[in-house]
Amino acid sequence: MLFRPWPVLALVLSCPVLGADPVPGVHLARYGVGQGPLGGAQAIRIEGSALVHTGQSLPTDRSGSIDGAQSPGAQVRRALDNLARALESAGSSLDQLVRLNAITADERATSALASEIEARFRLDSRPAVTLVEGRLPVAGALLALDAVAAAGISAEAPGEVARTVSPSLPGVRGGSHAAILPNGPRSFVSGRAADGEPELAATDVLVQIDETLEHLGASREQLVQLRCFLRPIEAASLVESRIVEFYGGRAPPVVFVEWLNRQAIEIEAIVATAPADEPDDSRPIAYLTPPGLTASPVFSRIARVFHPASVYVSTLNGRGSGTAEQEIRAMFADLAGILGQAGSDLDHLAKATYYVSDDSTSTALNQIRPEFYDPKSPPAASKASVRGTAVAGRSLAVDMIAVPRQRQ
């Protein structure tokens, strides 16, 4: 099965599909149902709910061994079952998925995941899906998953994070399988990078993240998830153990993505932050640059979100059979259309992740981004060179999180 970019026209002509509210006061709308990657929604807007963020789900049994080593279908089912257990530990389920993030090793795994999504989810209950191709942290694994899901209105106060562990899942002692981001302000921290031996480089980056937490007035306990872009990916288990050690056996969920960038590692973070004291905290989102760092016109060091709603956009790959520049411009046009349907726009992006599989696309993306972003308010971001986008003929994959234009 060859995967091709999905039509945005279906989204523009459609109305939002309202999902069943997990609890009273929680509102969820899907846009472009069935038109996103692997048959998912193109975007989901959710408001009023705590959000579960998981660690990485691999097709492994309790001992950490690959289940179904020669069968993509068996591996997909095991990875989804493991993801379900992580969600259940935090009071959620696959039925409440908002976004499913997938890394597949090859076309067979991508096709098997598409088939399983079709089998497990009704069309009107499918999540937004992000998809990229690369090698996985465990030898023999064909895919890795992590997710964001609704958890209802949490008992935690804004800024307080609950982390959970499932006894039926493998993992490093002192790590966690899921964390609950309470319904309230949150911050997206752009990737911080370092080079050298992966474990030492990871320590360097974690120290940088500590400095960012201090700037936010937050603690390590408020970390919701760490996403690590790593080279070589085989060092993932060593880096994960180092993360657990750094946080004194109380680590947040961790996700690993293979990247081919020059530096050994980059780590981005999601942080639950308490309500701001400043008088202008009624704005939907603020873009921050901590002391000692320089501001950029194409990404913010921190995007601090005050709006109660989030818009999760599925992977966009551009369209048409043109140059890298045309592909990128088409991606931004598609993104603007999707955001408009969800009540947002390019000026209210909170987080961007750019995956590029060739140097010309990476260069063109750097040149074109300033045309679409207000230099005072670009999203927090990471850009990773990867082996592929899992979409035929595409060298660009972009994932976005936004907020609506106005606070209610």
* Residue 61 predicted with pLDDT over 80: yes
Give the per-residue pLDDT at 276. Answer: 64
Mean pLDDT for 312-337 is 92
Give the per-residue pLDDT at 7. Answer: 40
| Residue 1 pLDDT class (50, 70, 90 cuts) | very low
Give the per-residue pLDDT at 342. Answer: 96
Give the per-residue pLDDT at 5. Answer: 41
Strands 254-258 and 17-18, bridge-based pairing: unpaired
Q: Are 302 and 188 in contact (CB under 8 A)?
A: yes
Half-sphere exposure at residue 52, Cβ-oriented, CA atoms within 13 angstroms: 33
Mean pLDDT estimate for the chain = 91
* Residue 82 predicted with pLDDT over 80: yes
* Residue 247 predicted with pLDDT over 50: yes
Distance CA 15, CA 193 (A): 41
Give the orientation angle of helix 359-372 with respect to helix 324-341, to 10 degrees: 40
Distance CA 79, CA 143 (A): 8
Query: How far are the Cα atoms of 228, 266, 270, 311, 384 from residue 196, in angstroms, in the given order?
Result: 15, 12, 25, 36, 18
pTM over cut 0.95: no
Give the per-residue pLDDT at 12. Answer: 38
Give the per-residue pLDDT at 65. Answer: 87
pLDDT digits (tens, 9 = 90+) for 205-221: 999 999 999 999 999 99
* Residue 373 predicted with pLDDT over 60: yes
| Residue 260 pLDDT class (50, 70, 90 cuts) | very high
Comparing 190 with 26, which gets the higher pLDDT?
190
Least confident of 238-247, 315-324, 334-343, 344-353: 315-324
Give the per-residue pLDDT at 17. Answer: 56
Distance CA 292, CA 304 (A): 18
pLDDT digits (tens, 9 = 90+) for 282-301: 789 999 999 999 999 999 99
Comparing 248 with 318, which gets the higher pLDDT?
248
Distance CA 326, CA 304 (A): 31
* 3-class SS of residue 214: helix
Beta-carbon contacts of residue 265 (< 8 Å; ≥ 6 apart) = 193, 194, 198, 201, 202, 205, 228, 229, 230, 231, 239
Cα dihedral 96/189/137/171 (nearest 10)? -60
- φ, ψ of residue 263 to 5 degrees: the values are -75, 155
Per the listing, tokens 């230099």 go with 375
- For the chain, give the percent of residues with pLDDT over 90: 83
* Residue 113 predicted with pLDDT over 60: yes
- For the chain, give the percent of residues with pLDDT over 70: 91
DSSP 349: E
pLDDT digits (tens, 9 = 90+) for 114-165: 999 999 999 999 999 999 999 999 999 999 999 999 997 666 788 899 999 9
* 3-class SS of residue 240: helix
